[in-house]
Amino acid sequence: MLTRQNVIAEWAYSINYALTKFEYDNDFELFASVLSGSNAAEHCSKTVGELSEDVYSAQMKMIQNVTDTLAKKDIELNQKQAGKLDKAIVMATLRKFFEVKSDDMVADIQTVASGRKLS
């Protein structure tokens, strides 16, 4: 008999299995860290007490790529790096950059960028 607790247990097992199987992937390691509620991802054998350098490096590279993409858009539109882009242009550029993110996730980015808190 399939009960709610059985389904929850199966999901938990599946998530744990995936986190262990794909522990080499920085995104999985970061997700494991978030789930564990600490800086350490118990499921990832690479780290003890903190995220691996690979996760940090991947996140810093992504931030640099976003910054570079916005700087290129600035030059494209202003013929120089003016440091000013319309909010709609920034959001359209971020939408294209993070093409695999859902519309809700991009809306959350816009909410936070506007100085409002997520509900």
**Concatenated DSSP letters of 76-99:** HHHSS--S---HHHHHHHHHHHTT
**Any residues with CB less than 8 A from the CB of 25 and at least 6 apart, and which?**
none
Let me know whether 106 and 67 are in one domain. yes
> Token pair of 36, please?
């564990």
C-alpha angle 17-23-26 in degrees, rounded to nearest 5: 135
Give pLDDT tens digits for 66-89.
999 999 999 999 999 888 888 889
Say whether both 36 and 80 belong to one domain. Answer: no
What average pLDDT does the segment 52-79 reach?
A: 87
User: Within this chain, do residues 24 and 81 fall inside the same structural domain, yes or no?
Assistant: no
Based on the domain organization, do 88 and 101 belong to the same domain? yes
Q: Residue 87 sits in which domain range?
A: 52-119
Positive or negative, the Cα torsion across 103, 14, 11, 31? negative
How many domains, in total, are found in the chain? 2
Residue 17 sits in the same domain as residue 74: no
| 63 and 41 in a common domain | no
Q: Note whether 92 and 111 are same-domain residues.
A: yes
Q: How many CB atoms lie within 10 A of CB 114?
A: 9
8-state DSSP, 42? T
Nearest to 83 by CA among 65, 67, 66, 61: 67
Q: Is the pTM of this model over 0.85?
A: no
Residues 76 and 114 in one domain: yes
Length of the chain: 119
Using pLDDT thresholds of 50, 70 and 90, give the confidence band for residue 45: very low
CA dist., res. 100 & res. 61, Å (int): 17
Query: What gap in Å lies between CA 103 and CA 7, rounded to an integer?
Result: 29
Average pLDDT (15-30) is 79
